[in-house]
């Protein structure tokens, strides 16, 4: 008899011939996640099992964050041949519980001498006789004693909901524009959840933004990396483009031209490292640079798809996800971001493409972009 | 070259202080409450430190209570003394440190808590204080030196007004930025309690004291074994106390801080010309170790981060509040114009700051100012 974690996957079931590829990737991601706890991970009969870990709870918390995992249960694995021992173990697991319960058994080993309804009845009866504080309710039970008869018997009560999604790496690679704000880490999370490997680009405008602001972004990236299985952060020196835009371009287009520079630089970094798309945390209408017209102007220079998973979300909805994934508190630290360094008093909210192009024509765009990309610092988390 | 100009946030302990702490940790580590002989040595060291503090403040050594620092001392003085009253007025000056402000704000539901305004130089407005003093005033909190501007408060005048209009009121002075740097005579000045902190005068962090006069009755905030005459229970921080003692003993009373500060002031004025503003009193009238000024239009943070790249460390106001991104309450209380407040930098010196360091800092400031003044933010 031993304790282990039983892991279930969700959407992968819908895959056809390439399902083994997704499952293999998921198993690898779980292996990566439990490595610090020395756990063993194996696949058996469309379930993934994790055993022999040093810290069960901490290990479950890690597995819970692996994209592709639908739910997990701390379970007991034991010999299925001695049914009395199985009943005894079930009663032991239920002994501190009060309320209503039922037994739900599944039997993938069809040679097992008892049918599922027989197991339900007999095991339920035994538990009931041993635990006077429990009552049976087969329609709306508060607790379910699950019994799975496979190569062994598996017993579990607690089912922990996991993050869902698809295993990271099965959906290609994209590059996130990561600021210190609330939105961009959430956007990165949303896309990574669909199986996409993420790298991040951060724009650093020293001395307008500080070492602490950079550290804050690295903390956010680190928090994201718990879900994304590691993340590479490109810190781009962005002071020079910002100063030139501020000095030479019309004030009302300042932010928009800055966003276009960010897109150009991020796209170039993305291409260099094999990413096929950019990700931003923009949400329609949130600020002047996030109107449809403004987004058209920034998209025009990206030359690859730009994913904006939060485009239709309200701020409050974004905050809720940020709280759930644990980035909200860090995002709220008050260090200035490069986006707010030279905010125009009256930014253009309905910019016209030709006006913007004319407004930035005075800049040596290629030189500024190349210099920024060349000066980039790479940090692997 | 490294140039540390943030001595009002904290100071670097001197070798002498560090050695005293080390010695106490390794050799004098005994619990002063223990009964065997070596513990007595620890107790004697504590007594010596109490004496030294009392001498410095013209107070009674029996009334020196060791705390973890300025914040705890302020909290104990304010909340500990007010717990004997029900109702009445509590006054604190507009630019008090959060240790005082937050403690006063926390009793708002029991007392009539009012703020004493500052004038445009950052000094307590005595006329306003006269209006605010009522016979039922329980406590007046006025710091001796403002931590952001270096303004020296007219404590004797405050005490005189108190004697005249609210003789029962206790006068609590936060002396964290003044202890050892300005003379204090608690008896003559009519101060009832005085808070000080070690790490602002080259002692380690985690040690401070509250010194009381004869009139103050305190209720303890930390309950346990009855140390510090039951007013502050918990095993005494003997290494901290040894460090504080060493810091007091070795503090260079004769120093050229004022000269260094005036040199800094003159040169900064030359760098920024008519865009240079002092936030607070005239430099020669303020405390010798603090100069708060603005080099408009370069924002404080920009200058601070640029200087950090040259290993020159300054503050944009008080380190305690720099995590809250808004204009400092002190500068707001002085009605400092917004642009000027946004550029405010606090230079704070120690007796060990040299002219060479200041000249190096000035050369860096000049370079950055000439560059960044071109990019004014709207």
Which ranges in chain B are annotated with CATH 3.90.1150.10? 3-11+253-372
Residue with tokens 């710091």: B143
CA distance A179 to chain B (A): 18
| pLDDT given at position B318 | 43
| pLDDT given at position B98 | 94
Model confidence at B321: pLDDT above 80: no
Q: Per the CB < 8 Å rule, is A208 touching B324?
A: no
| pLDDT given at position A10 | 86
Residues 6+ apart with CB under 8 A from B30: B36, B38, B39, B41, B42
Domain ranges of chain A: 2-161, 173-380
CA distance B209 to chain A (A): 32
Q: Which residues on chain B place their C-beta less than 8 Å from a C-beta of chain A?
A: 301-306, 308-309, 323-325, 368, 374-375, 377-378
CATH number of B3-11+253-372: 3.90.1150.10
Which ranges in chain B are annotated with CATH 3.40.640.10? 15-250
Radius of gyration of chain B (CA): 21
The answer to whether the beta carbons of residues B96 and B116 sit under 8 Å apart is no
Q: Compute the distance between CA of residue B358 and CA of residue B262 in angstroms, rounded to an integer.
A: 11
What is the count of residue pairs from A and B with beta carbons less than 8 Å apart? Answer: 39
pTM: 0.83
Q: Per the CB < 8 Å rule, is A345 touching B375?
A: no
Output b/e per residue, B340-375; b: 16+ Cβ within 10 A: bbbbbbbbbbbbebeeebbebbbebbbebbeebeeb
Q: Per the CB < 8 Å rule, is A247 touching B377?
A: no
Q: Per the CB < 8 Å rule, is A336 touching B325?
A: yes
- Does domain B15-250 fall under CATH 3.40.50.620? My reply is no
Q: Per the CB < 8 Å rule, is A334 touching B323?
A: yes
Confidence of residue B319 (pLDDT cuts 50, 70, 90): very low
Burial, A37: exposed, middle or buried (Cβ in 10 Å; 0-12, 13-18, 19+)? middle
Q: What is the pLDDT of residues B157-201, one digit of tens each?
A: 999 999 999 999 999 999 999 999 999 999 999 999 999 999 999
Continuous segment of H or E residues that includes residue B126: helix B126-132
Model confidence at B323: pLDDT above 70: no
Active site residues of B: 320
- List the single residue in B303, B325, B375 with the smallest CB-CB distance to A246: B375
The answer to whether the beta carbons of residues A180 and A224 sit under 8 Å apart is no
Which ipTM was obtained for this model? Answer: 0.73
Confidence of residue B317 (pLDDT cuts 50, 70, 90): low
Arithmetic mean of pLDDT, B55-82: 96
Arithmetic mean of pLDDT, B285-311: 94
Homologous superfamily (CATH) for A173-380: HUPs (3.40.50.620)
Q: Compute the distance between CA of residue B245 and CA of residue B51 in angstroms, rounded to an integer.
A: 10
Q: Per the CB < 8 Å rule, is B305 touching A344?
A: no
- List the single residue in A208, A246, A333 with the smallest CB-CB distance to B302: A208
Residues 6+ apart with CB under 8 A from A50: A4, A5, A7, A30, A34, A39, A40, A41, A59, A63
Q: What is the pLDDT of residues B254-279, one digit of tens each?
A: 999 999 999 999 999 999 999 999 99
Arithmetic mean of pLDDT, B345-360: 97
Q: Which residues on chain A place their C-beta less than 8 Å from a C-beta of chain B?
A: 206-211, 243, 246-247, 251, 333-334, 336, 341-345
| pLDDT given at position B320 | 41
- List the single residue in B301, B368, B375 with the smallest CB-CB distance to A336: B301
Model confidence at B322: pLDDT above 60: no
The answer to whether the beta carbons of residues B179 and B56 sit under 8 Å apart is yes
Q: What is the pLDDT of residues B117-149, one digit of tens each?
A: 999 999 999 999 999 999 999 999 999 999 999
Number of H helices, E strands in chain A: 13, 15
Paired strand residues for A2: A77
**Lowest mean pLDDT: which of A282-286, B90-94, B252-256, B364-368?**
A282-286
Q: Per the CB < 8 Å rule, is B378 touching A243?
A: no
- List the single residue in B302, B323, B377 with the smallest CB-CB distance to A207: B302
The answer to whether the beta carbons of residues B215 and B186 sit under 8 Å apart is no
Question: What residues in A contact B374, CB-CB < 8 Å?
Answer: 247
Residue segments in chain A with a per-residue pLDDT below the cut of 70: 338-339
Nearest one of A291, A300, A281, A279 to A356, comparing CA atoms: A300
Query: Which one of A204, A205, A206, A207 makes the best mutation probe of the B interface by having the most chain B beta carbons within 10 Å?
Result: A207
| pLDDT given at position B227 | 86
Question: What residues in A contact B300, CB-CB < 8 Å?
Answer: none
Output b/e per residue, A254-268; b: 16+ Cβ within 10 A: bbbbbbbbbbbbbbb
CATH number of A2-161: 3.30.2130.30
Beta strands A134-136 and A69-78, pairing class: unpaired
Q: What is the pLDDT of residues B210-228, one digit of tens each?
A: 999 989 999 988 888 888 8
Arithmetic mean of pLDDT, B306-319: 85
Question: What residues in A contact B375, CB-CB < 8 Å?
Answer: 243, 246-247, 342
Q: What is the pLDDT of residues A284-330, one digit of tens each?
A: 988 878 899 999 999 999 999 999 999 999 999 999 999 999 999 99
Q: Compute the distance between CA of residue A265 and CA of residue A366 in angstroms, rounded to an integer.
A: 10
């Amino acid at each position: 008899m031993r304790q282990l974690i039983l892991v279930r996957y969700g959407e992968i079931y819908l895959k056809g011939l390439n399902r083994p590829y997704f499952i293999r990737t998921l198993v690898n991601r779980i292996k990566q996640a439990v490595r610090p706890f020395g756990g063993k991970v194996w696949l058996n009969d469309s379930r993934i099992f994790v055993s022999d870990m040093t810290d069960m709870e901490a290990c479950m918390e890690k597995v819970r964050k692996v994209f592709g995992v639908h739910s997990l249960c701390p379970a007991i694995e034991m010999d299925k041949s001695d049914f009395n021992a199985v009943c005894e173990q079930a009663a032991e697991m239920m002994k501190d519980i009060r309320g209503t319960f039922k037994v739900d058994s599944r039997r993938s080993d069809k040679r097992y001498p008892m049918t599922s309804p027989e197991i339900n009845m007999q095991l339920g009866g035994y538990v009931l006789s041993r635990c006077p504080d429990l009552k049976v309710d087969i329609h709306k039970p508060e607790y379910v004693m699950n019994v799975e008869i496979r190569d062994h018997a598996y017993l579990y009560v607690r089912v922990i909901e996991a993050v869902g999604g698809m295993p990271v790496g099965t959906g290609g690679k994209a590059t996130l524009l990561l600021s210190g704000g609330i939105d961009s880490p959430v956007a990165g999370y949303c896309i990574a959840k669909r199986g996409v490997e993420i790298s991040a680009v951060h724009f650093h405008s020293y001395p307008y933004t500080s070492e602490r602001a950079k550290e804050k972004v690295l903390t956010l990236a680190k928090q994201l990396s718990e879900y994304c299985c590691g993340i590479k952060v490109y810190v781009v020196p962005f002071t020079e483009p910002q100063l030139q835009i501020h000095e030479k371009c019309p004030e009302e287009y300042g932010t928009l031209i800055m966003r276009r520079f960010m897109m150009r630089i991020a796209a170039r970094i993305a291409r260099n490292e094999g990413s096929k798309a950019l990700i931003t945390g923009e949400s329609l209408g949130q600020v002047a640079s996030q109107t449809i017209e403004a987004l058209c102007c920034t998209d025009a220079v990206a030359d690859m798809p730009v994913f904006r998973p939060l485009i239709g979300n309200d701020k409050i909805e974004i905050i809720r996800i940020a709280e759930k994934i644990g980035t909200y508190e860090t995002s709220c630290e008050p260090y200035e971001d490069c986006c707010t360094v030279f905010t125009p008093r009256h930014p253009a909210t309905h910019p016209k493409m030709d006006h913007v192009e004319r407004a930035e024509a005075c800049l040596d765009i290629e030189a500024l972009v190349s210099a920024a990309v060349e000066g980039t610092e790479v940090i692997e988390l | 070259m490294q140039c540390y100009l943030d001595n009002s946030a904290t100071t670097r302990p001197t070798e002498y202080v560090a050695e005293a702490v080390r010695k106490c940790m390794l050799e004098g580590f005994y619990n002063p409450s223990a009964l065997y002989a070596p513990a007595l040595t620890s107790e004697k060291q504590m007594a010596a430190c109490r004496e030294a503090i009392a001498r410095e403040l013209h107070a009674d050594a029996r009334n020196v209570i060791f705390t973890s620092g300025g914040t705890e001392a302020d909290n104990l003085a304010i909340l500990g003394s007010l717990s004997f009253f029900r109702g009445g007025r509590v006054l604190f000056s507009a630019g008090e440190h959060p240790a005082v402000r937050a403690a006063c704000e926390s009793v708002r539901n029991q007392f009539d808590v009012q703020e004493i305004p500052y004038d445009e130089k950052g000094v307590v407005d005595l006329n306003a204080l006269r209006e605010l003093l009522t016979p039922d005033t329980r406590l007046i909190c006025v710091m001796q030196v403002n931590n952001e501007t270096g303004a020296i408060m007219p404590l004797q005048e405050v005490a005189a007004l108190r004697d005249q209009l609210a003789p029962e009121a206790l006068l609590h002075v936060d002396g964290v930025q003044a202890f050892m740097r300005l003379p204090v005579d608690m008896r003559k000045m009519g101060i009832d309690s005085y808070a000080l902190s070690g790490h602002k005068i080259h002692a380690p962090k985690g040690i401070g004291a509250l010194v009381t006069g004869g009139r103050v009755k305190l209720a303890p905030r930390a309950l346990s074994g009855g140390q510090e005459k039951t007013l502050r229970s918990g095993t005494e921080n003997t290494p901290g106390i040894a460090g504080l003692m060493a810091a007091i003993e070795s503090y260079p009373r004769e120093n050229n801080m004022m000269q260094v500060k005036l040199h800094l002031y003159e040169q900064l004025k030359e760098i920024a010309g008519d865009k240079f503003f002092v936030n607070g009193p005239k430099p020669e009238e303020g405390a010798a170790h603090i100069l708060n000024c603005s080099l408009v239009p370069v924002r404080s943070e920009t200058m601070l981060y640029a200087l950090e790249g040259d290993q020159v460390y300054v503050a944009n106001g008080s380190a305690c509040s720099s995590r809250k991104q808004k204009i400092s309450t002190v500068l707001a209380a002085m009605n400092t114009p917004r642009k000027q407040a946004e550029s405010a930098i606090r230079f704070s010196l120690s007796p060990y700051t040299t002219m060479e360091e200041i000249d190096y800092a000035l050369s860096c400031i000049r370079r950055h100012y000439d560059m960044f003044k071109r990019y004014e933010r709207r």
